[in-house]
């Protein structure tokens, strides 16, 4: 059993050395300029062309500060910036590159309020510190990751590719960061509470009972020990549900805010269990390293990270298992998805405990009403066959500390050509998502962290979709929906119905994969997008029953406008989206050319350059 320990004052900042800090600032500024330019928050000015590179300058409002760099503008207005070319000048005199100074210099362009700006800067500082930690202490190389286990690959990832403040974790102190951040944690145990059934609510899929979940997750020894604690307090164990919670949440939130429930023994602290866990990229989901085939545990964690206080809604927890059961059954009984081996990783059970005072005092949504809940999710380990291994799909966008990209390394190890490897990837990832959209009006949030790829001989053979209950929507669907899943039904303008596909798949995954292959493998982006188009056309040819919808919801339109994710965070860094309608009142980046438009008839076209029209 691993119980958290404090780091010394000097240990807390050992990784913050000037050479590392300079490198991290340069890399992150490259990302900031690229993503803010992509969303047209800032507009660098083109000054010249040289050897297929454009030269650009970006000046602040005083016109005294200038950032100079060279770049290539790829499909989807993606800015491929030469890192080494990036320099800052003040009145023509070279100056040090500094991310925080850049954000201050361009605050007006960011449109962030004075009230939110300090918190945003804190999130960026935390993100930079985390990157410094990874650079200072080192992580596996892209070559190492070819043979790394799933958890080692998971812990090597460095955050969402689009968001600038993607590893804020506001609430963690330096010791917490070392104990609980995915990239730094050693295995630790969870704290368990007993919640009285008059308030605590357990929900599960129809095939699973509370006793089965707790018996598997705790084991006979822990279960008896926890029951004995309740009995010693003259309490009846049959009147309580056991709830795992994050140690940070217990010490920093629950032990104080739920004091009344603890005093009246509505909540009882039982201590640590024996199994040890490692946090996933989402920081509040935990993989059981003591028994990998046991369930994942996802808990409420009241830290601010990438646009949300990471709580869990008791209201949502009640419906998550039945939602997962319904979607799982749809997928399992679909002939096409079975041929693609597409799998839903079910959230199979949950326990929630609502705070009586906050529920009574606050009618609106609040993170104070989401502090005590957990859910259990199936482990992907039990889904593997011999010679298969798991990676997070986020790894496809990973570049190691030496500047080597993982994806080209993986493709070379497979022995396949890049085109053949990509066909296999699109077949198991893109095809199922297109099918769910046209058959059920169903869209996922299939970004890198939410997908697990199954590899065999380094080749994708299966995609496993997770985080179902909170990140699936049914758009304008006319299909029957069970009552428990009604909260997934969302009404959007018909013209906007395909935007989740363009935003989440094209703009948030494929844009980066294509750019990495251009930069690190000299692979044609025109060929990449032709392969995407071919995958969609193959599906459409195989499923003529949706021909009318292919015209109505045309994925080959000439242009579209994806969500502006950084604008979302700048507008409200505590709640990116309205969970009740995640597609309402979103900022967009403006129209960009659809890179598969020119391949709409399956013909090969050469010479595609960035956002230039035919």
pLDDT at residue 603 is higher than 60: no
Report helix, strand or coil for 61: coil
What is the pLDDT at residue 59? Answer: 97
Is residue 469 predicted with pLDDT exceeding 90? no
From residue 210, give the alpha-carbon distance in Å to each of 40, 240, 298, 372, 380.
Answer: 51, 11, 16, 18, 21
Q: Cβ of 613: how many Cβ atoms within 10 Å?
A: 8
Confidence (pLDDT) at 185: 87
Query: d(Cα 510, Cα 583) in Å, to the nearest integer?
Result: 21
- Mean confidence (pLDDT) of the chain: 94
β-pairing verdict for 53-59 and 65-74 = antiparallel
E strands, 37-165, are 45-50, 53-59, 65-74, 78-81, 87-90, 93-95
Q: Give the tens place of pLDDT for each residue, 328-354.
A: 999 999 999 999 999 999 999 999 999
Per CATH, the number for 11-155 is 3.30.310.280
- Which residue shows structure tokens 């290539």? 72
**pLDDT tens digits along 268-312:** 999 999 999 999 998 999 999 999 999 999 999 999 988 789 999
Selection from 62, 171, 34 nearest residue 574 by Cα: 171
pLDDT tens digits, one per residue of 68-126: 999 999 999 999 999 999 999 999 999 999 999 999 999 999 999 999 999 999 999 99
SS3 for 33? helix
Q: DSSP string of 479-526?
A: S---GGGGGGEE---GGGTTHHHIIIIIIIIIHHHHHHHHHHH---HH
> Does residue 612 surpass a pLDDT of 60?
no
Helices (H), ranges, 233-313: 247-249, 255-257, 259-263
Predicted confidence (pLDDT) at residue 613 exceeds the cutoff of 60: no
In DSSP terms, which residues pair with 65 in a beta bridge? Answer: 90
Percent of the chain with pLDDT over 70: 96
Residue 46 predicted with pLDDT over 90: yes
**Mean of pLDDT values over 238-255:** 98
Residue-level pLDDT at 2: 65
Tokens linked to 22: 């300079």
Please tell me the predicted confidence (pLDDT) of residue 608.
35
Where are the domains positioned within the chain? 11-155, 181-377, 383-599
For the stretch 431-468, pLDDT in tens is 999 999 999 999 999 988 999 999 999 999 999 999 99
Model confidence pLDDT, tens digit, residues 168-209 = 899 999 999 999 999 998 899 999 999 999 999 999 999 999
The pLDDT score that the predictor gives to residue 606 is 38
Q: Rounded distance, CA 452 to CA 14, Å?
A: 34
CA separation for the pair 614, 605 (Å, rounded): 10
The answer on pLDDT for 473 being more than 60 is yes
Residue 614's pLDDT band, with cuts at 50, 70 and 90, is: very low
Mean pLDDT lowest for which of 172-176, 410-414, 507-511? Answer: 172-176
Distance CA 191, CA 313 (A): 19
Which among 425, 428, 380 is positioned nearest to 407, based on CA atoms? 425
Are 186 and 180 spatial neighbours (Cβ–Cβ below 8 Å)?
no
Q: Which fold has domain 383-599?
A: Transferase(Phosphotransferase); domain 1 (1.10.510)
Look at residue 4 in the predicted model and tell me its pLDDT: 61
Other CB atoms within 10 Å distance of the CB of residue 482: 12
Q: What is the pLDDT of residue 7?
A: 81
When pLDDT is cut at 50, 70 and 90, the band that residue 611 belongs to is very low
Question: Is residue 577 predicted with pLDDT exceeding 80?
Answer: no
Q: Kindly report each contact of residues 256-262 with a partner whose C-beta sits within 8 Å and lies 24 or more positions away, as own/partner.
A: 257/355, 257/368, 257/371, 258/353, 258/355, 258/371, 258/372, 260/356, 260/357, 261/199, 261/353, 261/355, 261/356
In what order do the strands lie in the sheet containing 277-279? Answer: 200-204, 347-353, 373-377, 296-299, 285-288, 277-279
Q: Is the pLDDT of residue 604 over 60?
A: no
pLDDT at 5 over 70: no
End-to-end CA distance of the chain: 63
Alpha carbons 358 and 458: distance in angstroms, whole number: 50
Report in angstroms the alpha-carbon separations of 97 from 22, 29, 86, 224, 335.
Answer: 8, 8, 8, 58, 54
pLDDT over threshold 90, residue 363: no
Answer yes or no: are the C-beta atoms of 276 and 152 closer than 8 Å.
Answer: no
**pLDDT at 609 exceeding the cut of 50:** no
Phi first, then psi, for residue 601 (nearest 5°) are -105, 5
Tell me the average pLDDT across 25-44.
98
């Amino acid at each position: 059993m691993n119980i958290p320990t404090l780091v010394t004052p000097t240990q807390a900042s050992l990784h913050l050395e000037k050479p590392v800090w300079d490198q991290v600032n340069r890399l992150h500024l490259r990302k900031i300029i690229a993503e803010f330019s992509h969303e047209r928050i800032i507009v660098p000015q083109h000054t010249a062309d040289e050897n297929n590179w454009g030269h650009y300058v970006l000046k602040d409002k005083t016109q005294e500060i200038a950032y100079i760099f060279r770049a290539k503008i790829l499909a989807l207005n993606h800015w491929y910036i030469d890192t080494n070319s990036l320099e800052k000048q003040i009145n023509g005199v070279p100056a040090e590159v500094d991310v925080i100074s850049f954000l201050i210099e361009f605050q007006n362009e960011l449109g962030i309020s004075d009230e939110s700006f300090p918190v945003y800067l804190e999130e960026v500082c935390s993100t930079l510190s985390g990157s410094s930690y990874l650079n200072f202490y080192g992580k596996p190389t892209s070559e190492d990751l070819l043979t790394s286990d799933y958890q080692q690959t998971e812990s090597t990832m460095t955050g969402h590719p689009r968001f600038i403040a993607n590893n804020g974790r506001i609430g963690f102190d330096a010791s917490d960061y070392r104990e609980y951040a995915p990239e730094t944690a050693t295995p630790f145990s969870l704290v368990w509470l007993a919640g009285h059934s008059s308030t605590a609510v357990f929900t599960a899929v129809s095939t699973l009972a509370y006793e089965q979940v707790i018996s598997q997750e705790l084991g006979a020894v822990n279960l008896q020990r926890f029951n004995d604690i309740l009995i010693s307090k003259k309490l009846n164990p049959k009147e309580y549900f056991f709830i795992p919670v994050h140690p940070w949440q217990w010490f920093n939130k629950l032990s104080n805010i739920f004091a009344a429930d603890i005093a009246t023994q509505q909540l009882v602290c039982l201590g640590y269990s024996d199994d040890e866990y490692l946090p996933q990229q989402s920081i509040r989901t935990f993989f059981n390293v003591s028994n990998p085939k046991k369930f994942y545990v996802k808990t409420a964690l009241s830290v601010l990270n990438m646009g949300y206080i990471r709580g869990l809604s008791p209201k949502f927890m009640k419906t998550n298992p039945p939602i997962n059961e319904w979607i799982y059954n749809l997928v399992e009984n679909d002939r096409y998805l079975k041929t693609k081996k597409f799998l839903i990783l079910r959230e199979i059970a949950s326990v929630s405990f609502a705070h009586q005072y906050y529920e009574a005092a606050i009618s609106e949504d609040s993170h104070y009403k989401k502090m005590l809940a957990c859910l259990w999710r199936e482990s992907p380990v039990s889904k593997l066959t011999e010679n298969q291994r798991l990676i997070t799909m986020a790894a496809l966008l990973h570049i190691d500390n030496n500047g080597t990209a993982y994806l080209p390394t993986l493709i070379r190890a497979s022995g396949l050509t890049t085109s053949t490897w990509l066909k296999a990837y699109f077949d198991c990832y893109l095809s199922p998502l297109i099918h769910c959209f046209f058959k059920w009006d169903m869209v996922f949030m299939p970004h890198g962290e939410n997908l697990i790829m199954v590899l065999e001989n380094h080749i994708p053979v299966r995609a496993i979709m997770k985080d179902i209950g909170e990140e699936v929507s049914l758009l304008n669907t006319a299909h029957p929906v069970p009552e428990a899943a009604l909260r997934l039904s969302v009404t959007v303008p018909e013209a906007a119905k395909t935007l989740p596909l363009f935003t989440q798949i094209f703009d948030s995954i494929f844009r980066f994969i294509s750019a990495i292959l251009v930069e690190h493998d000299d692979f044609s982006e025109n060929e990449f997008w032709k392969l995407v188009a071919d995958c969609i056309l193959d599906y459409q040819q195989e499923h003529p029953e949706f021909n009318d919808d292919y015209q109505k919801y045309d994925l080959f339109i000439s242009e579209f406008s994806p969500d502006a994710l950084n604008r979302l965070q700048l507008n409200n860094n505590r709640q990116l989206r309205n969970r009740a309608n995640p597609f309402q009142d979103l900022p967009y980046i403006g129209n960009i050319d659809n890179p598969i438009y020119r391949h709409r008839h399956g013909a090969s076209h050469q010479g595609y350059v960035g956002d230039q029209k035919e």
